[in-house]
Amino acid sequence: MKSFTYERARNPAEAAASVLRKPDAKFIAGGTNLLDLMKLEIETPAHLIDVNGLALDKIEPTAEGGLRIGALVRNTDLAADSRVRRDYAVLSRALLAGASGQLRNKATTAGNLLQRTRCPYFYDTNQPCNKRRPGSGCAAIGGFSRQHAVVGGSEACIATHPSDMAVGMRALDATVETVRPDGATRAIPIAEFHHLPGSTPHVETALSPGELITAVTLPKPVGGTHIYRKVRDRASYAFALVSVAAIVQRDGTGRVALGGVAHKPWRIESADSQLPRGAKAVMAELLSGARPTRENAFKLSLAERTLGAVLTEAKG
Amino acid sequence: MQGPSDFELSRRKILLGTAASVAFGVAPRIADAQTPAVPVQAGAAPAISMSKVSFSVNGKPREIALDTRTTLLDALREHLHLTGSKKGCDHGQCGACTVIVGGRRINSCLTLAVMHEGDEIKTIEGLGTPENLHPMQAAFVKHDGYQCGYCTPGQICSAVAVLDEIKAGIPSHVSADLNAPAQLTNAELRERMSGNICRCGAYSNIAEAITEVAGRQA
């Protein structure tokens, strides 16, 4: 691990300003992903700004009837919150399907959104990777690509976003709230928060330098049956091959977002409207333009069958 | 021929001796850092950033000055000489380093020691003693919940915290009803313990040990 200096930030604006002042500075909250990547020298910050003292750890109702989740709320606490369990069960379920108990106790809401891909070529510093070293190439294309993206990828990158939580939030139309070093705040719809790789796979989110996530807000509950179904190589503690976050209403309408298939939580609103026609119709739209590799083409039928199972379950 | 007992050698002393000589030959100044095997390049002065941290470990206040890179696990093992917590993968995948901080189990390998100012940390050494075992330790012995024992301190810390999580009503991936009290089924225990890997495969016995303690507590 490269040496770094360390400070504890006292308020969000100070933290954002401090990260701009120091070259190669990074925020650290739970640290479960950042520290892992620092050990491998994939992340090499020269300065760490510990944001754990920023009092962003509350879940509060919003004036619009939704919930405002502080950036530092731990995954365990978010999944266990009684309002989330009752009104946003797809988010609770998504969180509980991810990582282990130990990691969920540490991992934060904002950190979960910002976690990096688990592409093995991103982790292997001997391999080219356009995310890790822009312009060096992509070893996953033509390499072992069973886990990789089937849709939304590019010639530069076919990595997936590893989060379950973000897939649940995408189905719920969450909004990411931030503060910038000059104190300006903004709200980014989660659909626009994560970027597709394009020719710049190292630019993963809409955040500008020094911008700090302060909260994630959920709109008013939409009711319906909430299901998060995750398919993986073992029964627990593994990343998704495919996951489906679905909210299904009694009349068969609803929303679907997929995990494990793209560089971001994958949802296309026009595909939602196909829900009453069944899984095949939804996937024809949701995965149109998919370009799987020989090794991960199975994800297309796996996604359709998983959604089929989810819709059967939703009917009760 | 002299046997090892003549020198009172232990496996730990031999391992420590080996590690120390390797570190000495390469980079004596960073012997306490996380990656002592990485050589310091000639000409590049190792700029080490130190920071102080105070926390309580097993009820005792501790204050140490550390290289900021030091994980909580390395602080416990290498600085405070509490070697019960084990380093397995050092990447949060195996759970051998599990300790309880502020009542919650975490992977001590994936957190920096300096981030724990004021925290209350409990390790396996704080749960029980050989003379006065914690009920979970006694149950692991009774049910043979281990083979080589390397993952055991992490398994036991995790198991103790799991029962508290169930008591606190925290649901799991296998909870059928998110809004009902969490159940103490075998499936629940296995799901909740999935962050602790046992390469000897003592899982069935581990689940039996936890079930016994849970039953006693209920």
How high is the mean pLDDT in each 10-residue block of chain A (316 residues)? 95 84 92 98 97 97 98 98 98 98 98 98 98 98 97 98 98 97 94 98 96 97 98 96 98 98 98 98 97 98 98 94
SS3 at position B5: helix
Domain boundary, last residue among B91, B126, B161 = B126
B212 with B141, same domain: the answer is: yes
Distance of residue A190 Cα from the nearest chain B Cα, in angstroms: 24
The whole-number pLDDT of residue B37 equals 43
**Does residue B113 lie in a domain region?**
yes
* CA-wise closest residue to A95 among B175, B197, B110, B97: B175
- A31–B112 CB contact, under 8 Å: yes
Interchain pair B171, A32: CB under 8 A: no
> Measured between CA atoms, how close is B52 to chain A, in angstroms?
11
Measured between beta carbons, the chain B residues lying within 8 angstroms of A101 are 105, 158, 161-162, 165, 192-195
Which of B106, B163, B210 should we substitute to test contact with A (largest number of A Cβ atoms within 10 Å)?
Answer: B106
Residue B149 has a CB neighbour count (10 Å cut-off) of: 14
Taking CA atoms, what residue in A is nearest to B166?
A80
How far away is chain B from the Cα of A155, in angstroms, using its nearest Cα?
A: 30
Angstrom distance (rounded) from CA A157 to CA A199: 8
Give Cα separations from A121 to A156, A161, B108 (angstroms): 13, 14, 26
- ipTM reported for the complex, 2 dp: 0.97
Please tell me whether residues B108 and B162 are part of one structural domain: no
- At residue A11, the pLDDT reads 87
A307: its two tokens = 């959604």
Once rounded to an integer, what is the mean pLDDT over residues B61-66?
98
pLDDT at B25 over 60: no
Same domain flag for B77 and B117: yes
**Residue B192 domain boundaries:** 135-217
Distance from CA of B196 to the nearest CA of A (A): 9
pLDDT score recorded for residue A22: 87
Region B59-68: mean pLDDT is 98
| Å between B13 CA and nearest CA of chain A | 26
B149 with B141: CB under 8 angstroms? no
Statement: residue B24 has pLDDT above 80:
no
As a whole number, mean pLDDT of residues B60-68 equals 98
In this prediction, residue A138 carries a pLDDT of: 98
CB contact under 8 A, A105 and B105: yes
Q: How far does B147 lie from chain A, in Å, by closest CA?
A: 23
Chain A residue numbers with beta carbons less than 8 Å from the beta carbon of B193 are: 101
Residue that has been written with the tokens 């709200």 in this structure = A187
Looking at the structure, tell me whether residues B104 and B162 fall in a common domain.
no
* Statement: residue B23 has pLDDT above 60: no
Question: What is the DSSP secondary-structure string of chain A?
Answer: ----EEEE-SSHHHHHHHHHHSTTEEEESS-TTHHHHHHTTSS--SEEEE-TTS----EEE-TTSSEEEETT-BHHHHHH-HHHHHH-HHHHHHHHTSS-HHHHHH-BHHHHHHPPP--HHHH-TTS-BTTTSTTS-BSSTTS--TTS-SSS--SS-------SHHHHHHHTT-EEEEE-TTS-EEEEEHHHHBPP-TT-TT--BSPPTT-EEEEEEE-S---SEEEEEEE-SSSSSS--SEEEEEEE-TTS-EEEEEESSSSS-B--HHHHTTGGG-HHHHHHHHTTT----TTTTHHHHHHHHHHHHHHHHHH-
Last residue within a domain, chosen from B93, B126, B159: B126
Provide the token pair at A276: 């009453």
Instruction: Quote the CA–CA distance of A149 and A290 in Å, as a whole number.
Output: 9
What is the predicted pLDDT for the residue at A84?
98
Bridge-based pairing of strands B50-57 and B120-122 is parallel
Token pair in block for residue B198 = 């046992």
pLDDT value at B45 more than 90: no
Looking at per-residue confidence, does B163 or A22 come out higher?
B163
Boundary residue ending a domain (B67, B95, B126): B126
Residue B110 lies in a domain: yes
Q: Which two tokens stand for residue A132?
A: 């890790």
Q: Is residue B86 part of a domain?
A: yes
Q: Which residue has the tokens 């914690």?
A: B134
> Which residue is closest to A50 within chain B, CA to CA?
B115
What is the CATH number for B188?
A: 1.10.150.120
pLDDT at B10: 53
Residues of A in contact with B171 (CB under 8 A): 79-80, 85, 92, 96
Determine, for residues A39 and B35 on separate chains, whether the beta-carbon distance falls below 8 Å.
Answer: yes
Whether residue B36 is contained in a domain is answered as no
- Whether residues B194 and A100 touch (CB distance < 8 A) is answered with yes
- Using the predicted structure, report yes or no on whether residue B28 has a pLDDT greater than 60: no
Q: Indicate whether B145 and B208 sit together in one domain.
A: yes
Residue at B17 is within a domain: no
Which residue in B has a C-alpha nearest to residue A86's C-alpha? B179
B6 CA to chain A: closest CA distance, Å? 40
Indicate if B139 and B206 belong to the same structural domain. yes
User: B98 with B144, same domain?
Assistant: no
In terms of domains, do B147 and B118 share one?
no
Q: Which residue has the higher pLDDT, A72 or B28?
A: A72
Q: Give me the number of domains chain B comprises.
A: 2
**DSSP 8-state symbol, B40:** P
B141 and B210 share a domain? yes
- When CB atoms are compared, the residue of A39, A92, A105 closest to B104 is A105
B97 within some domain: yes
CA angle, A308 then A311 then A316, to 5°: 130
The tokens for A287 are 């995965």
- The stretch B17-22 carries a mean pLDDT of 42
Q: Is the dihedral of CA B30, A42, A45, A38 positive or negative?
A: negative
| pLDDT for res A77 | 98
- B113 and B79 in a single domain? The answer is yes
| Residue B12: band (very low, low, confident or very high) from pLDDT cuts 50, 70, 90 | low
Which residue would you say has higher pLDDT here, A53 or B28? Answer: A53
A65: left (phi over 0), alpha (psi -120 to 50) or beta: left
CA-closest candidate to residue B102, choices B164, B40, B144, B46? B164
Tell whether B150 is covered by a domain: yes
Distance CA B179, CA B68 (A): 42
Shared-domain flag, residues B120 and B168: no
Mutate to test the interface with A, among B104, B122, B158, B193 (most CBs of A within 10 A): B104
Nearest chain A residue to B172, by CA: A96
d(CA B34, CA B135): 34
If asked whether residues B82 and B142 sit together in one domain, one would say: no
Which CATH number characterizes residue B74's domain?
3.10.20.30
Task: Spell out which residues of chain B touch residue A89, defining contact as CB-CB under 8 Å.
Answer: 178
Whether residues B107 and A39 touch (CB distance < 8 A) is answered with no
pLDDT tens-place string over residues B131-143 = 999 999 999 999 9
Please check the confidence at residue B36 and state whether its pLDDT lies above 60: no
A vs B, Cβ pairs < 8 A, gives 115
Residue A281 burial by CB count (10 A; 0-12/13-18/19+): exposed, middle or buried? Answer: middle
Mean pLDDT, chain B, rounded, equals: 86
**DSSP-assigned states of every residue in B181-205:** PPP--HHHHHHHTTTS--TT--HHH
Instruction: Give the nearest chain B residue to A229 (CA atoms).
Output: B173
CB contact under 8 A, A85 and B179: yes
In a domain, B21, yes or no: no
